[in-house]
């Protein structure tokens, strides 16, 4: 499984030799951020799933910060945030709002669709998105944290379990080979 994932990830030596990363050698070039094993892959996917619900274009930045803090695979954490996109973000926010509404009984607000990116540019859209988030308030904020935590825990367990099953299959195949 590691060989299959490595073909999509950059080589650590190539990253280390890049002059743009030289000032960040103590943080971004730490070997555990680029190493791929069962623990780092599961942690990276969990970080990416949690940070994927961060509103706006800060998802990958959040995943990178989490990867540096928890010392998990950086490229995999950033790539995992891509599960949220213009097609999935609205259903995810509706689910998050429903979870937050369930966790906080008594909040009588209704869910409204997020603003569309318009002709006024990115800054104006970010302001409209912030106003939309504040308008939905506490149920959405709590729901996003709870949904993100649930997705992260589920993803962590699923990756660890899938990696373990894969290893068991490889070990089983290896034990069935005739000895030479």
Domain regions of the chain by residue span: 2-176
CA distance 156 to 76: 13
In this prediction, residue 18 carries a pLDDT of: 72
User: What distances in angstroms separate CA 108 from CA 99, 136, 137, 147, one per listed residue?
Assistant: 14, 10, 11, 20
User: What confidence tens digit (pLDDT) does each residue in 87-128 have?
Assistant: 898 899 889 988 988 888 765 666 667 777 777 778 888 888
Residue 53 confidence (pLDDT) above 90: yes
User: What confidence tens digit (pLDDT) does each residue in 164-174 have?
Assistant: 999 999 999 98
Kindly indicate the confidence band of residue 45, based on its pLDDT and cuts at 50, 70 and 90.
very high
User: What confidence tens digit (pLDDT) does each residue in 140-177 have?
Assistant: 889 999 999 999 999 999 999 999 999 999 999 988 88
Residue 9 confidence (pLDDT) above 80: no
CA distance 159 to 163: 6
In this prediction, residue 108 carries a pLDDT of: 60
Residue 17 confidence (pLDDT) above 90: no
Task: Kindly report the pTM of this predicted structure.
Answer: 0.72
CA distance 99 to 143: 5
CA distance 50 to 46: 6
Q: Residue 16 in contact with residue 47, Cβ under 8 Å?
A: no
Identify the CA nearest to 131 among candidates 53, 59, 63, 56: 56
Give the rounded percent of residues in the chain with a pLDDT score beyond 90.
42
In this prediction, residue 57 carries a pLDDT of: 80
CA distance 39 to 126: 36
């Amino acid at each position: 499984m590691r060989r299959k994932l490595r073909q999509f990830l950059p080589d650590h030596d190539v990253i280390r030799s890049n002059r743009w990363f030289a000032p960040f050698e103590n943080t971004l070039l730490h070997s555990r951020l680029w190493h791929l094993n069962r623990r780092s892959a599961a942690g990276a996917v969990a970080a990416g799933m949690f940070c994927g619900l961060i509103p706006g274009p800060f998802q990958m930045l959040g995943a990178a910060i989490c990867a540096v803090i928890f010392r998990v695979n950086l490229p995999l954490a950033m790539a995992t945030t891509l599960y949220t996109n213009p097609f999935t973000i609205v259903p995810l926010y509706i689910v998050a709002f429903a979870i937050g509404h369930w966790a906080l009984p008594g909040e009588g607000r209704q869910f409204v669709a997020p603003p569309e990116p318009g002709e006024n540019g990115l800054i104006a859209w970010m302001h409209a998105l912030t106003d939309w988030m504040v308008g939905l308030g506490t149920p959405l904020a709590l729901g996003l944290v709870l949904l993100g935590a649930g997705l992260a825990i589920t993803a962590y367990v699923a990756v660890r379990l899938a990696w373990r099953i894969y290893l068991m299959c490889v070990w089983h195949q290896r034990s069935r080979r005739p000895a030479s």
